[in-house]
Amino acid sequence: MNINDDRKLIRVRDIVLIAAVLAAAAAVYWVTADFSGKKRYAVISCGGETVAEVSLDRFGDYSFPETGDMVFTVGGNGISVSKSGCPDKICMRTGNISRAGEAIICVPNRTAVTVKNAPGENDIDVVLR
Amino acid sequence: MARRFFRHYNYNKIAGTVSAAALTILLCSCSGADKTASSQSFVFDTYSQITVCGNDSEDVLSEVGSILSEMSGDFDLCYDMTANELPQNDLYCDCLSKTRELNRRYGNSINVFCGKLTKLWGISTDSPRVPADEELAAVLAELPDALTENIPYGAMLDFGAVSKGYACDKVFEVLEKKDMDYGIISLSSTTLMYGKKHGGKPFRTGLTNPLTGEGYAGIIETEAAFISTSGGYERYFSPEGTNDKYCHIMDMTTGRPVETDFASATVIVPADVTDGGILSDFLATMIFSEGTGNIDKWLVCDDFQVVAISADGGVYSNCEGLELNESGGFYYEYK
C-alpha cells in the first residue's frame, strides 16, 4: 500500500503539521515560561524600590545588601523574616506569609515583603492588618 | 517542497485562524494592562500599596502618592509639636472638625488631644516605657475634652485614630474627579476600594488573624468601600522580663492602654458615604476599645458593617460578604 494514499486516516503531512504546531506551542511556552511559571512569588522591597523577587518554591535563606542584616527564609509555609536587627521585631513576629496580598512590614528597615500571584488568579486584593 | 506537502490544506483558512488567534492574544495583553499603575511606599508610619486603573493612571498615581506623603508628613508633625506651634493649615482644621463631628455623633472615647499621653508611653517608638502613676495623673489632669472648642495652650494633637481614614477620603476625591475605573489604596489598617473592578468581580480583602498575626481570620467581599481595622496584635510593647502587653490604643479615662476583650475590630463603610474613610477609621478604634460588652448597639447600625473578633476567636458580625476561616478556629458569636 502506498503511504501517500489520500484515503488513509492520517497522512505523513498531517503528522508533520501536528508536530509543527506542537513545536510552535513549545517555543511559545519556552519564551513565556519564566513569567507564567512563577505562580506565587515574594517581592522584597526597600524604601519603595524592589530589591528582589523570590519564587516561593525555592526554599532557602536570602539576604540582600539593601536590606542590611535581614534574613528572609522561604520554606514549606511561605516566606518569613528569620533575622532582623530592628528594635521592635514586628517583622519577625509576623511569621510566614504565603497567600497573594499578604505582607511582612519592617518599618525601621523600611522593608516590605509581599506575596504576589501570576496575573489572572482569583485571590485577595489586599490584606488589612 | 512544503507547498507540495500541504497541498490539500486550505491556506486562507489556516492564515485566517492564525491571525485571529494572534490578534486575540494581542488584545488580551493590552486591554487594561496599560491602564493600571501601582506603587508602594512608606507613609503614615506604615507600608502603603496603591493601585489605580483608568485613563492617565500614571499621573493619577503620582498625584495620589504625593497627597499621601505630604499628609503623612503633616500628621507626623503633630507628634512633636504642640497645637499652637503647628502651622495653621486647612488640613488640621478640617480633620479636627470632622473628628469632633464624629465625637458628637458616636462618643468621645477617641480624643485627638491625647498627644502628650501617646508621647509619654512612646509605644511604636524606639523607646517605649510604662510611665509612673504620677506622670499619668499629671497628663490626664491636663487632657482637654474631645469636644473642646478652644484648644488649650500647649495641648498636643494625635490624629493617629483618624488620619489614615481621613487621607483615604482625600484620595477618594481625587479618584472621583479623575473618573478612574477603580483603585485600591491600602494603608495597612485602612483601605479604600474605589470604583468597579473589570469584569464586575467584588473586591476581596483578607482580614489578618488577630490571634496569631499570621494567616486570615476571614475574607471580606465588598463593592466599593472604606475598610478599617483596629487591634492590639501588631503595635504593642512588652517590657523586658515580663509577659505584659501594652497596645498602642489608649483609654482616655485611665491614661493606660485600653483593656478590651476584642482582638480586633473591623468596620466597612460603603464608598458612597461622604467622609466614609474617617468614619471607618474612627469607629474601628472605638468598637475595638469598647469590647464585647458594647457590641450589640454597633451591630444594628445600617450605614456600616462590623466584624469584631474576641480574644478567643468568637466573631460578632453583621457583614454579609464575610467568609469566615472556620477551620482556623473562628466561629460566629453573632451573625
Helix residue spans in chain B (DSSP H): 2-5, 11-30, 57-77, 90-106, 115-121, 133-142, 163-177, 276-290, 295-299
CA distance A99 to chain B (A): 8
Beta carbons within 10 angstroms of residue B128's beta carbon = 18
Q: Do B42 and A48 touch (CB under 8 A)?
A: yes
Q: Decide if pLDDT at B11 tops 70.
A: no
Q: Decide if pLDDT at B67 tops 70.
A: yes
- pLDDT score at A55: 86
Closest partner residue to A128 among B39, B45, B207, by Cβ? B207
Determine contact, residues B52/B64, Cβ cutoff 8 Å: yes
Q: Which residue has the higher pLDDT, B84 or B1?
A: B84
- pLDDT score at B284: 97
pLDDT in tens, B38-63: 888 889 888 899 999 999 999 999 99
Global ipTM = 0.79
- pLDDT score at A101: 81
Residues of B with CB under 8 A from a CB of A: 5-6, 8-9, 39-42, 45-47, 49, 124, 126, 184, 186, 188-189, 191, 193, 201, 203-208, 212-216, 219, 227-229, 234-235, 237, 266
- pLDDT score at B27: 41
% pLDDT > 70, chain B: 90
- Tell me which chain A residue has its CA closest to the CA of residue B2: A13
Q: Which residues are paired to A81 by β-bridges?
A: A72
Model confidence band, residue B166 (pLDDT cutoffs 50, 70, 90): very high
- pLDDT score at A121: 47
B123 burial via Cβ count (<10 Å: 0-12, 13-18, 19+): buried
Find chain B residues with C-beta within 8 A of A47's C-beta: 42
* CA pair distance B27, B154, nearest whole angstrom: 61
Which segments of B118-169 are extended strands (E)?
none
Q: Decide if pLDDT at B325 tops 70.
A: yes
Q: Decide if pLDDT at B265 tops 70.
A: yes
pLDDT in tens, B280-321: 999 999 999 999 999 999 999 989 999 999 999 999 999 999
* CA pair distance B21, B14, nearest whole angstrom: 11
The length of chain B in residues reads 335
Find chain B residues with C-beta within 8 A of A3's C-beta: none
Find chain B residues with C-beta within 8 A of A97's C-beta: 214
CA distance A128 to chain B (A): 5
Q: Do A125 and B126 touch (CB under 8 A)?
A: no
Model confidence band, residue B8 (pLDDT cutoffs 50, 70, 90): low
Question: What's the sign of the alpha-carbon dihedral B276, B76, B260, A105?
Answer: positive
- What pTM was computed for the model? 0.74
Backbone phi and psi for residue B136, each to the nearest 5 degrees, phi listed first: -60, -45
In Å, how far from its chain's centre is CA B41?
15
- pLDDT score at B195: 96
Residue A58 has what DSSP assignment?
S
Q: Which residue has the higher pLDDT, A7 or B105?
A: B105
B215-241 mean pLDDT: 89
Closest partner residue to B42 among A47, A114, A124, by Cβ? A47
- What is the SS3 assignment for B214-257? CCEEEEEEECCEEEEEEECCCCEECCCCCCCCEECCECCCCCCE
CA distance A60 to chain B (A): 20
pLDDT in tens, A22-60: 888 887 766 554 443 446 889 999 988 889 888 888 888
Q: Decide if pLDDT at B260 tops 80.
A: yes
% pLDDT > 70, chain A: 82
Model confidence band, residue B141 (pLDDT cutoffs 50, 70, 90): very high
Closest partner residue to A129 among B193, B208, B237, by Cβ? B208
Interface test with B, best of A18, A92, A126 (most B CBs within 10 A): A126
B4 burial via Cβ count (<10 Å: 0-12, 13-18, 19+): exposed
CA distances (Å), B50 to each of A15, B103, B186, in order? 51, 30, 6
Q: Decide if pLDDT at B110 tops 80.
A: yes
